[in-house]
């Protein structure tokens, strides 16, 4: 049985048991803060991979609170421990951006299950690997949805100013233009800007788009959706994270939002894993849990095959190619053959429409 070694969320003091291990795998997750409900499910998924492991190994779990500064400090702590030879995480694009510097400087390989900012793969970090599709892929899928399913001619976008949402919206408008749609504007509703939400909603309403992408964390997205509807915007809303339970973009009396989801929907694509997760959590939302489980399982398999150093783990990850298993990467650390799910958020709840590769073909 593996052992959990955890870190207190309000300090950087590590708690260890009395049994040491020559090698450890770490998980860097947002176990407190706005992403905590999903982080806890990722932690359970990683735990299942450890339960299945042939070779026992300690798991170090660190919390970054979905905060870039905390993630950087936690990454430095993990990187300074020579027994930690690989990491699953971080979860968010902005925490991955800050932690990736420390990991690269110490040759500590990490697989993020969910940080989707496309620029992360352009930093020149040989230690970076990604288990989910990057946002440039998702932007093309969203533009195709606006074009082929919504039938939009004019599109706009609203983001919360984060390093995930802002580039995603910019990429969506660029991809929409390539498809011949009219990209109108991208507005930011970052909390730091007083009156930003009202100005953004007013501007989008004046544009009268047929479809609007609203991207970011749940609370600002919900606020933006309500503000737009209050101004009579009848456009179809597009969004991400289609299997989250919050239904942030759904407003009764208006068209059902179209949602993408770059996490594997375990209900359809990993039912055995889904059943195991339901034994641990009352509701399994499958928000990147499959990706976290696959990442941890891959790292444990690499250890089982004899890797004992960060360099050996990195070489095993870098040399994986298509056909080697569910996770394989290109030279930049991007997952090969990423797929994105499509949903319509109807009154009864999100309805799964299908897989982007099956519905849209090559993008």
Of 326 and 308, the structure prediction assigns the larger pLDDT to 308
pLDDT exceeds 90 at position 348: no
pLDDT exceeds 90 at position 172: yes
Report, as an integer, the average pLDDT of 290-309: 95
Q: Say if residues 38 and 285 touch (Cβ distance below 8 Å).
A: yes
pLDDT recorded at residue 191: 59
Q: What class is the 4-133+266-318 domain?
A: alpha beta
Percent of the chain surpassing pLDDT 70:
91
> Which of 135-144, 287-296, 313-322 has the least mean pLDDT?
313-322
pLDDT exceeds 60 at position 20: no
Radius of gyration of the chain (CA): 20
pLDDT recorded at residue 337: 82
Q: What's domain 135-261+340-360's architecture?
A: 3-Layer(aba) Sandwich (3.40)
pLDDT exceeds 80 at position 355: yes
Q: What is the pLDDT of residues 69-128, one digit of tens each?
A: 999 999 999 999 999 999 999 999 999 999 999 999 999 999 999 999 999 999 999 999
Strand order in the sheet with 128-130: 4-6, 58-63, 24-29, 84-88, 110-112, 128-130
Surface-to-core class of residue 252, CB atoms within 10 Å of its CB (0-12 exposed, 13-18 middle, 19+ buried): exposed
Residue 42 confidence class, pLDDT cut points 50, 70, 90:
very high
3-state secondary structure of 110: strand
> Which of 35-44, 111-120, 203-212, 260-269 has the least mean pLDDT?
260-269
Residue 188 confidence class, pLDDT cut points 50, 70, 90:
confident
Strand order in the sheet with 154-159: 182-188, 154-159, 211-215, 236-239, 258-261, 341-346, 349-355
Select from 231, 170, 183 the least CA-distant residue to 209: 183
pLDDT recorded at residue 15: 35
Report, as an integer, the average pLDDT of 188-203: 80
> Which of 61-65, 234-238, 349-353 has the least mean pLDDT?
349-353
pLDDT exceeds 70 at position 362: no
Q: Is the dihedral of CA 241, 242, 243, 248 positive or negative?
A: positive
Report, as an integer, the average pLDDT of 14-23: 47
pLDDT recorded at residue 24: 95
DSSP for 22-87 reads S-EEEEEE--SSTTHHHHHHHHHHHHHHHHH-SS--EEEEEE-TT-HHHHHHHHHHHHT-TTEEEE
Delimit the CATH 3.40.50.2300 region(s) of the chain. 4-133+266-318, 135-261+340-360
Report, as an integer, the average pLDDT of 1-25: 48
The overall average pLDDT reported for the chain is 89
DSSP for 329-363 reads B-TTSPBSS---EEEEEETTEEEEEEEHHHHH---
pLDDT exceeds 90 at position 154: yes
Residue 225 confidence class, pLDDT cut points 50, 70, 90:
very high
pTM of this prediction? Answer: 0.84
Residue 132 confidence class, pLDDT cut points 50, 70, 90:
very high
Alpha helices in the chain (DSSP H): 36-52, 68-79, 93-105, 135-144, 165-178, 196-207, 218-230, 266-269, 271-278, 289-304, 310-318, 356-360
Residue 33 confidence class, pLDDT cut points 50, 70, 90:
very high
Report, as an integer, the average pLDDT of 157-177: 93
Which residue matches tokens 């919504």? 150
| Separation CA 59–CA 207 (nearest Å) | 51
pLDDT recorded at residue 363: 61
- What does the block give as tokens for 61? 């779990």
């Amino acid at each position: 049985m593996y052992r959990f070694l955890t870190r207190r969320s309000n300090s950087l003091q590590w708690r260890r048991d009395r049994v040491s291990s020559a090698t450890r795998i770490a998980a860097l997750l947002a176990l407190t803060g706005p992403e905590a409900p999903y982080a806890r499910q990722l932690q359970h998924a990683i735990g299942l991979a450890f339960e299945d492991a042939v070779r026992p190994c300690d798991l170090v779990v660190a919390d970054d609170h979905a905060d870039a500064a905390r993630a950087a400090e936690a990454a430095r702590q993990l990187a300074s421990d020579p027994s930690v030879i690989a990491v699953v995480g971080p979860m968010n694009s902005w925490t991955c951006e800050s932690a990736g510097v420390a990991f690269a400087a110490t040759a500590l390989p990490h697989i993020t299950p969910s940080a989707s900012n496309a620029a992360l793969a352009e930093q020149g970090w040989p230690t970076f690997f990604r288990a989910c599709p990057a946002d440039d892929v998702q932007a093309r899928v969203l533009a195709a949805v606006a074009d082929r399913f919504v039938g939009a001619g004019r599109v706009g976008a609203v983001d919360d100013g984060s390093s995930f949402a802002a580039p995603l919206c910019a990429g969506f408008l660029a991809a929409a233009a390539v498809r011949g749609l009219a990209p109108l504007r991208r507005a930011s509703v970052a909390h730091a800007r007083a009156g930003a939400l009202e100005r953004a909603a007013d501007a989008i309403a004046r544009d009268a788009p047929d479809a609007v992408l609203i991207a970011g964390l749940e609370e600002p997205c919900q606020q933006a959706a309500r503000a737009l509807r209050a101004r009579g915007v009848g456009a179809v809303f597009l969004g991400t994270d289609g299997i989250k339970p919050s239904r942030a973009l759904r407003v009764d009396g208006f068209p059902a939002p179209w949602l993408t989801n770059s996490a594997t929907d375990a209900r359809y694509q990993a039912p055995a894993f889904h059943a195991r997760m339901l034994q641990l959590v009352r509701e399994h939302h499958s928000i990147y849990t499959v990706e976290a489980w696959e990442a941890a399982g891959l790292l444990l398999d690499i250890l089982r095959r004899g890797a004992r150093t960060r360099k050996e783990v990195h070489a095993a990850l870098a040399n994986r190619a298509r056909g080697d298993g569910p996770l394989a990467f290109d030279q930049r650390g991007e997952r090969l053959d990423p797929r994105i799910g499509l949903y319509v958020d109807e009154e009864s709840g999100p309805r799964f429409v299908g897989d982007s590769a099956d519905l849209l073909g090559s993008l």
